[in-house]
A and B are shown apart, each in its own frame.
Chain A
């Protein structure tokens, strides 16, 4: 397996789209339920937790870019094989693909649950999954150009949902945020860790990077993307704290959707219905990017044709969704992703740095020794 990936010029994308890729993949189902988890840990100082998480992600992204810049145009799969050798590298790559797969699955399940809760209580999991998978497959069969295009256009067509938040914002109580800085630092860190599931997904950078046309300009859009999605999470967090009482917030599962529920206009009522269905367009980029990364990774690692792996994964998903009937089961999946995903997304890249450093030094010594 080659470490560096060579991309045909027709298949590459401009660095600009990293902004939309990163912020789209971060904003998904996580944000609907995140306020509760963060709030139970960090209480009314939750917004500080989000800022801490943001700072941590920025450092992490710097580390990722550092790793990527050690190579010409490599991705996670290539780098792992380069560092750990064929066998272990491929194993780690497989773990990464499984991680992406479980994330995909948890997003799908959570959305199905939301639909069942808000719209159709008896809508079978399978039917909804088939509908969503039709969209996902149709996109991925178009190649990366279509995947990025769909991400981009769906981002543009759902961004207006933010403005609906204006309505609950006018009715929130700013005093709920006071007194500030009361939460202890360990609790803040725990709160920051509770954002892990919501803000994860940016690890796609390590997979999509070889496809970027102008790699020297990749940093700015990436950081802006992370900033934008953090800003949205922060905004939602502050509004939820101000809108709900502390006791209520600890028990509200889908606080963001409840916020939308209160907004109404003279020509339309119950905006939450529209938000819930529009959320399909919000999670679609997530699903599409994750599944694309999975099939692409399988081709990189095992030379498995993308069309075959796509159908295999789809079949697997359509079988598995039937086993999750109740809310708590879905939460368990999300918990697993949050727990293990944390190590893969947030900690693992830092472990690579010393190994690469040592390896570079060893290579240099060997090179000078022989020469």
Chain B
């Protein structure tokens, strides 16, 4: 995957580069040919004083008001200034920042695309160019996929400049570094490696930098795709970097010494390294008081287990080890299952599949119709399935609880993993009973222990054990106990604030 870029590709693109000096008509012909007679490529010719000048640009990529005011008007009236028309004089006299001079055709072509305006004086050896880009983007909106009750509402947008602006305003420190990378040979995309210079671990930065540099792909579609290219293991089930659309979650990771990535045209950034617990962590835990924060975090953790285990346990208990169910419940389960002709395995998979269908349909449909979907699923299919004798009442409760629990995961990607894990576990439970579940659980544990994120263990602080980090990652404690950063992420400096000052207590009165 991370092959070095080959030199040959660059050579292929080399065409007749040194075309200057050239007649204006000929230049126009060349440009039109390169752009396949694109009508949006504007090539304007003026005569200023005794010289002929061409101004060319792509219409929809530039801000035409600005070009009119800042470039065309002064240019056309240039001869009034009694100056000789040359690139140097233009650079000095146009009310713009110093433009750049370019003499290679391929450079001109690639810069035309990103919204530069070129001036060429006939007979010169180079062109002068100014950047007047116009980039359409939507305005900032509320976070949709990761909504919170408390805390900032803003979310990233598709504009990299806006995203960087948000991040920079959230971390007002000269230590914050945006390192630039271009990813993709077909259509290069701007990528920024974001980290705190005196906080983030050098190895992490270096690893990420190297993976970015050695990535050789034609194009990355989105930050989430780039994330998959950069992850440690492709075969593993679990997401290895933490993707988010919330700037607060992003900067929270960066200020704890992690490394972030922002990608052009993508409304999400991602944070590395991640641990299994960082996916269950929500910034809302911080905005709550610590007792509630701890409660919610543990609740989510239990919900994950619950969601994975409850349906397989139902299948295992009803197929093989029904003796573990207390007698009273066993009677009511028996009554409700009396009409069902299928084995529990088939019954459970059927219902779980219906639920997944509903969920998928709800996600694809427009919001207004989506609400109807929920009602159709919950009331019509649920009740009808029981009355038709397809499933038992108890299983509906079990499946609904497991779905509910899986919705609590703050990370949508991790939630999807949990959804996925359930199915093999249900089948194992149907084949081997409780033993199958324990087998599956052991397999998941081994799977997670083997996993690394950016070369760091996935299950830290549990393994490798860092007991002092428990109150930063697994639960929350009052702030005077969190005077240090989590050691698991190996930041360069671990101290956040003075512990003595935080512990200072006043006497009564």
Chain A residues near B (Cβ < 8 Å) = 14, 16-17, 115, 119-120, 131, 134-135, 138-139, 142, 145-146, 149-150, 152-154, 156-157, 264, 266-271, 273-274, 277-278, 280-281, 284
Chain B residues near A274: list those with CB within 8 A. 324, 434
B321:A281 contact, CB within 8 angstroms: no
Question: Which residue in B434, B439, B464, B465 is a CB contact (below 8 Å) of A135?
Answer: B439
Measured in the bound complex, the distance between the Cα atoms of B462 and A120 in whole Å is 35
Chain A residues near B434: list those with CB within 8 A. 119, 273-274, 277
Q: Mark B241-277, 1 if CB is under 8 A from A, else 0.
A: 0000000000000000000000000000000000000
Chain B residues near A153: list those with CB within 8 A. 445, 449, 459, 462-463
B324:A269 contact, CB within 8 angstroms: yes
A150:B439 contact, CB within 8 angstroms: no
Q: Mark B427-461, 1 if CB is under 8 A from A, else 0.
A: 00000111101110111011101100000010100
Q: Can you list 13 pairs linking A and B with CB atoms under 8 Å apart?
A: A14-B465, A16-B465, A119-B435, A131-B432, A131-B439, A135-B439, A135-B442, A135-B446, A153-B462, A156-B462, A269-B324, A277-B435, A277-B438
User: A238 to nearest B CB, angstroms?
Assistant: 27
Quick one: given A149-B463, A280-B435, are A269 and B325 in contact (CB under 8 Å)? yes
B327:A269 contact, CB within 8 angstroms: yes
A280:B324 contact, CB within 8 angstroms: no
* B149 within 8 Å of A (CB atoms): no
* B326 within 8 Å of A (CB atoms): yes
B443:A135 contact, CB within 8 angstroms: yes
A154:B438 contact, CB within 8 angstroms: no
Chain A residue at smallest Cβ distance from B462 = A153
Chain B residues near A280: list those with CB within 8 A. 435, 438-439, 442
Measured in the bound complex, the distance between the Cα atoms of B323 and A119 in whole Å is 11
B450:A142 contact, CB within 8 angstroms: yes
Chain B residues near A (Cβ < 8 Å) = 320-321, 323-327, 432-435, 437-439, 441-443, 445-447, 449-450, 457, 459, 462-465
A149:B326 contact, CB within 8 angstroms: no
Chain B residue at smallest Cβ distance from A265 = B326
Chain A residues near B457: list those with CB within 8 A. 145, 149
Chain A residues near B450: list those with CB within 8 A. 138-139, 142, 146
B321:A270 contact, CB within 8 angstroms: yes
Chain A residues near B325: list those with CB within 8 A. 268-269
Measured in the bound complex, the distance between the Cα atoms of B321 and A195 in whole Å is 33
B445:A278 contact, CB within 8 angstroms: no
With A119-B435, A142-B446, A281-B438 already in contact, 20 other A-B pairs whose C-beta atoms are closer than 8 Å: A14-B464, A16-B465, A119-B320, A119-B434, A120-B433, A134-B443, A135-B446, A149-B457, A150-B445, A152-B465, A154-B442, A154-B445, A264-B326, A268-B325, A270-B323, A274-B434, A277-B433, A277-B437, A280-B439, A280-B442
A149:B459 contact, CB within 8 angstroms: yes
Chain B residues near A146: list those with CB within 8 A. 446, 449-450
A284:B442 contact, CB within 8 angstroms: yes
Chain B residues near A14: list those with CB within 8 A. 464-465
Measured in the bound complex, the distance between the Cα atoms of B449 and A272 in whole Å is 28
Chain B residues near A273: list those with CB within 8 A. 321, 323-324, 434
User: A28 to nearest B CB, angstroms?
Assistant: 15
Chain A residue at smallest Cβ distance from B448 = A153
User: B451 to nearest A CB, angstroms?
Assistant: 9
A267:B446 contact, CB within 8 angstroms: no
User: A291 to nearest B CB, angstroms?
Assistant: 14
Chain A residues near B446: list those with CB within 8 A. 135, 138-139, 142, 146, 150
Measured in the bound complex, the distance between the Cα atoms of B498 and A365 in whole Å is 60
Measured in the bound complex, the distance between the Cα atoms of B321 and A135 in whole Å is 23
A267:B445 contact, CB within 8 angstroms: no
Question: Which residue in B326, B433, B442 is a CB contact (below 8 Å) of A267?
Answer: B326
Measured in the bound complex, the distance between the Cα atoms of B323 and A209 in whole Å is 45
Chain B residues near A138: list those with CB within 8 A. 443, 446-447, 450
Measured in the bound complex, the distance between the Cα atoms of B63 and A255 in whole Å is 84
Measured in the bound complex, the distance between the Cα atoms of B64 and A11 in whole Å is 62
Measured in the bound complex, the distance between the Cα atoms of B447 and A150 in whole Å is 10
Chain B residues near A157: list those with CB within 8 A. 445
Chain A residues near B441: list those with CB within 8 A. 281
Chain A residue at smallest Cβ distance from B455 = A10
Chain B residue at smallest Cβ distance from A152 = B463
Chain A residues near B443: list those with CB within 8 A. 134-135, 138
User: Which 7 pairs, one residue from A and one from B, show the smallest C-beta to C-beta distance?
Assistant: A149-B449, A270-B323, A142-B450, A277-B434, A277-B438, A149-B463, A277-B435
User: B333 to nearest A CB, angstroms?
Assistant: 13
A269:B438 contact, CB within 8 angstroms: no
Chain A residues near B326: list those with CB within 8 A. 264, 266-269
Measured in the bound complex, the distance between the Cα atoms of B446 and A134 in whole Å is 11
User: B441 to nearest A CB, angstroms?
Assistant: 8
Chain A residues near B445: list those with CB within 8 A. 150, 153-154, 157
Chain A residue at smallest Cβ distance from B428 = A131
Question: Which residue in B324, B433, B442, B449 is a CB contact (below 8 Å) of A270?
Answer: B324
Measured in the bound complex, the distance between the Cα atoms of B321 and A119 in whole Å is 8
User: B435 to nearest A CB, angstroms?
Assistant: 5
User: B107 to nearest A CB, angstroms?
Assistant: 45
User: A75 to nearest B CB, angstroms?
Assistant: 23
Chain A residues near B464: list those with CB within 8 A. 14, 149
User: B461 to nearest A CB, angstroms?
Assistant: 12
Measured in the bound complex, the distance between the Cα atoms of B323 and A264 in whole Å is 11
Chain A residues near B438: list those with CB within 8 A. 277-278, 280-281
Measured in the bound complex, the distance between the Cα atoms of B457 and A17 in whole Å is 16
Chain B residues near A16: list those with CB within 8 A. 465
Chain B residues near A156: list those with CB within 8 A. 462
Measured in the bound complex, the distance between the Cα atoms of B323 and A280 in whole Å is 20
User: A297 to nearest B CB, angstroms?
Assistant: 22
Please indicate which of the listed interface residues A120, A139, A156, A264 has the most CB atoms of chain B within 10 Å of its own CB: A139
Please indicate which of the listed interface residues B320, B325, B462, B465 has the most CB atoms of chain A within 10 Å of its own CB: B465
User: A110 to nearest B CB, angstroms?
Assistant: 16
User: B462 to nearest A CB, angstroms?
Assistant: 7
User: B154 to nearest A CB, angstroms?
Assistant: 38
User: A12 to nearest B CB, angstroms?
Assistant: 11
Chain B residue at smallest Cβ distance from A288 = B446
Chain A residues near B437: list those with CB within 8 A. 277
Chain B residues near A268: list those with CB within 8 A. 324-326
B323:A269 contact, CB within 8 angstroms: yes
Measured in the bound complex, the distance between the Cα atoms of B326 and A280 in whole Å is 24
Chain A residue at smallest Cβ distance from B449 = A149
Measured in the bound complex, the distance between the Cα atoms of B433 and A157 in whole Å is 20
Chain B residues near A142: list those with CB within 8 A. 446, 449-450
User: B140 to nearest A CB, angstroms?
Assistant: 42
Chain B residue at smallest Cβ distance from A115 = B435
Measured in the bound complex, the distance between the Cα atoms of B334 and A77 in whole Å is 60
Measured in the bound complex, the distance between the Cα atoms of B463 and A17 in whole Å is 10
Chain A residue at smallest Cβ distance from B464 = A14
Chain B residues near A271: list those with CB within 8 A. 324
Measured in the bound complex, the distance between the Cα atoms of B465 and A198 in whole Å is 28
Chain A residues near B439: list those with CB within 8 A. 131, 135, 280
Measured in the bound complex, the distance between the Cα atoms of B476 and A279 in whole Å is 33
Chain B residues near A269: list those with CB within 8 A. 323-327
B324:A281 contact, CB within 8 angstroms: no
User: A230 to nearest B CB, angstroms?
Assistant: 23
Chain B residue at smallest Cβ distance from A157 = B445
Chain A residue at smallest Cβ distance from B438 = A277
Chain A residues near B442: list those with CB within 8 A. 135, 154, 280-281, 284
User: B361 to nearest A CB, angstroms?
Assistant: 35
Chain B residues near A131: list those with CB within 8 A. 432, 435, 439
Chain A residues near B447: list those with CB within 8 A. 138
Chain B residues near A135: list those with CB within 8 A. 439, 442-443, 446
